[in-house]
Chains A and B, each alone.
Chain A
Amino acid sequence: MSAGELEGAAASLLAGGGRFADLFGTTDGDELTLRLVFALDGEGRYVVVEAPVRGTEYADLSKAVPAAFLEQCELFERHGVRPPGTPLNRVLMPPHAKPGAGWSEAAVAADGRTREPHHVRGEAFEFPFGPVRVAGWETLYMGLVTTGEEVLDLYLFYWHKHRGVERRLIGLEPERALFFVERLEGLSAVANGLAFCRAVETAAGIPVNEEAACSRAVAIELERIYNHAAAIAALCQTTGLSVGQAQAEIALERLLRLNLAAFGHRYLFGSLALGGVCRAPDDEAIRRELPAACDELRRVVAALLATNSHVDRLEACGIVDGETARRLSLVGPVARASGCDIDTRRDHPFPPYDNVVPVVPVRATGDAYARMQVFVGEIDESQRIVEELLGHCGEGRCVTEAGPSAALGWAESPRGETLAWVELDESGLIREARLRPAAVRNWRAFDDAARARNVFTDIPIIEASFWQTVAGFAR
């Protein structure tokens, strides 16, 4: 369809129960094509709408789909196209950006004029926090607008961490590119890698045997468990419970060592291969260690939930209501804690999730406490899935010659739905790649959560309960 019809298509998909998943552009010579991705969760499929753009303008999709605003900002930074008259913020382009290094000339020329002016008046003042912070593990600048205690507004700068990974993938063999995809967001190495592998496999027609698919699922569930354990430890840190933090981190360390024993890497790097996995997991190590580590974590959680000073800080903290979660197309535990019953493992299943269907924990209150409860529920469910798959895992990898083709891949990371779009050229090398980790969707709601009747010291708690990564956003 034409770019002028995109807005109507987006509104129609949204009205039909679709969920906005991504918006990006790919180029072929001088031609730019916009791709709008919607998830039809009820029907178990994704829809990719393609529209070539003539000139430098297209219709403002964020009017119909507010969640698309960030992607529109990114489209301007990368390709120089924008909706006419719509103010845009800087999202990924660093101040020292030059044209020709992945940034459009228009965006570089407009630097300083693309950001909506930030007005702070009256008793309020702007408190610069970051990009290096005491609480928080990654480079992230927060502009906090406050009167001293209450958070009136908050905005984020992510570009300190931008590495241009998608650009780095162009021209690489898919197997070589997988190395960089795994390192895009270290805490979701398997999930992002799996989405990428599935995109390449679909594009190139590479089969994956059942045993290898089970091995992949075990890896991604182990990744989910250790991430949620880390989030619980971080929540303890932010509520000042040093003993609880230390105990959660002991369980976390056991889980990381289990990853090492099962797949050869503490963060599960190098587990995946195109067409399967590099190695089958060590079943015996998982049977021996996983129940013990999860039980240890459950004991910590039981103690935390019986500690008023912990629970009181989490309840009604960083609320994201269901309407906001749907409007911003949030995914993963953040969305599920706000009443959105979505999970790509169940809604868009691929082997082995078509047989081993996860039970998805959902809470309605949308606060940090609800998010912690979702983490705890998902740890139980992931452990069940891993134990069910043990004995069915095996190796398997396959490489076939591929011609020009393109496809979308997806997986459910610990932070939610992660997507990958891959285009291969005549030689089977990557011509274009778009990686959309869950963090891209979920950071969008962080400022809303921080503003919702919270004080300054609630920000680290909200950040821990979101458990997003800047690396996943800034790519």
Chain B
Amino acid sequence: MLWFARGLLRRVVTTRYPRRTDAWAAALPSPPAFDSARLTPELAARLVARCPNGSLAIDGGALVLDLGGCTGCGRCVAEGDGAVRPSGVFELASSERIGLVKRIPIKGARK
């Protein structure tokens, strides 16, 4: 514990955060990004049914994506008829749990 406190106080940098993402990482699976203009209630229902982790849900007029449960498996991308694509985003850290929950408006849905 003493060493831990000492390290924090001295702020010794061991490894710096990468300045840029490695090129090969562009092909990594990543959470989905949704085109809200093409996200119909029917498609949203199909996406929820396809998600094996239960990371997608419909809440009111929005599709709710919980990044805390998403494994980037790509099933929603395959189901999405072009309305869903891999986001390519990996820097998902959030200081609050709610920061991992995204709400995407569903076109024409009642709120």
Known interface pairs A176-B52, A180-B52, A257-B24; A264-B73 also in contact (CB < 8 Å)? no
A269's contact among B24, B27, B73, B78, by CB below 8 Å, is which? B73
Q: Nearest A residue to B26 by beta-carbon distance?
A: A260
The interface size bin for chain A is 10 to 19
A83 at the binding interface (Cβ < 8 Å): no
A261 at the binding interface (Cβ < 8 Å): yes
Count, A-B residue pairs, CB within 8 A:
24
Do A264 and B27 touch across chains, with their CB atoms under 8 A apart?
yes
CB-CB under 8 A from B71, the residues of chain A are 269
CB distance from A292 to the nearest CB of B (A): 14
CB distance from A257 to the nearest CB of B (A): 5
Q: Nearest B residue to A172 by beta-carbon distance?
A: B52
B12 at the binding interface (Cβ < 8 Å): no
CB-CB under 8 A from B1, the residues of chain A are none
B28 at the binding interface (Cβ < 8 Å): yes
Q: How far is the CA of A180 from the CA of B78 in the complex (A)?
A: 18
CB-CB under 8 A from A260, the residues of chain B are 24, 27-28
CB distance from A467 to the nearest CB of B (A): 25
CB-CB under 8 A from B28, the residues of chain A are 260, 266
A270 at the binding interface (Cβ < 8 Å): yes
Q: Nearest B residue to A182 by beta-carbon distance?
A: B73
Q: How far is the CA of A278 from the CA of B52 in the complex (A)?
A: 16
Do B27 and A179 touch across chains, with their CB atoms under 8 A apart?
no
Do A270 and B73 touch across chains, with their CB atoms under 8 A apart?
yes
The interface bits of chain B over 49-80 (1 if a CB of A lies within 8 angstroms of the residue's CB, else 0) are 00010000000000000000001011100100
Q: How far is the CA of A179 from the CA of B28 in the complex (A)?
A: 18
B41 at the binding interface (Cβ < 8 Å): no
CB distance from A236 to the nearest CB of B (A): 23
Interface centre among B28, B29, B52 (most CB of A within 10 A): B52
A265 at the binding interface (Cβ < 8 Å): yes
Chain B at the A interface: SS class:
loop
Tally of B interface residues using CB under 8 Å: 10
Within 8 A of B (CB), among A439-455: none
CB-CB under 8 A from B27, the residues of chain A are 260-261, 264
CB distance from A350 to the nearest CB of B (A): 26
Q: How far is the CA of A278 from the CA of B74 in the complex (A)?
A: 10
Q: How far is the CA of A266 from the CA of B78 in the complex (A)?
A: 19
Q: Nearest A residue to B50 by beta-carbon distance?
A: A176
CB-CB under 8 A from B73, the residues of chain A are 179, 269-270
Do A265 and B29 touch across chains, with their CB atoms under 8 A apart?
yes
The interface bits of chain A over 243-280 (1 if a CB of B lies within 8 angstroms of the residue's CB, else 0) are 00000000000000100110011100110000000100
Q: How far is the CA of A264 from the CA of B73 in the complex (A)?
A: 10
CB-CB under 8 A from A265, the residues of chain B are 29
Do B52 and A179 touch across chains, with their CB atoms under 8 A apart?
yes
Known interface pairs A179-B73, A264-B74; A270-B24 also in contact (CB < 8 Å)? no
CB-CB under 8 A from B75, the residues of chain A are 179
Within 8 A of B (CB), among A166-222: 176, 179-180
CB-CB under 8 A from A257, the residues of chain B are 24
Q: Nearest A residue to B73 by beta-carbon distance?
A: A270
CB-CB under 8 A from B29, the residues of chain A are 264-265, 269-270
Q: How far is the CA of A378 from the CA of B105 in the complex (A)?
A: 52
CB-CB under 8 A from A270, the residues of chain B are 29, 73-74
The 8 closest A-B CB pairs, nearest first, are A179-B52, A257-B24, A260-B27, A270-B73, A176-B52, A265-B29, A270-B74, A261-B27
- Using CB atoms and an 8 Å cutoff, list the residues of chain B in contact with chain A: 24, 27-29, 52, 71, 73-75, 78
- Using CB atoms and an 8 Å cutoff, list the residues of chain A in contact with chain B: 176, 179-180, 257, 260-261, 264-266, 269-270, 278
Known A179-B52, A179-B73; further 18 A-B contacts with Cβ < 8 A: A176-B52, A179-B75, A180-B52, A257-B24, A260-B27, A260-B28, A261-B24, A261-B27, A264-B27, A264-B74, A266-B28, A269-B29, A269-B71, A270-B29, A270-B73, A270-B74, A278-B74, A278-B78
Please name 16 pairs of A and B residues whose Cβ atoms are closer than 8 Å in the assembled complex, sorted by A.
A176-B52, A180-B52, A257-B24, A261-B24, A264-B27, A264-B29, A264-B74, A266-B28, A269-B29, A269-B71, A269-B73, A270-B29, A270-B73, A270-B74, A278-B74, A278-B78
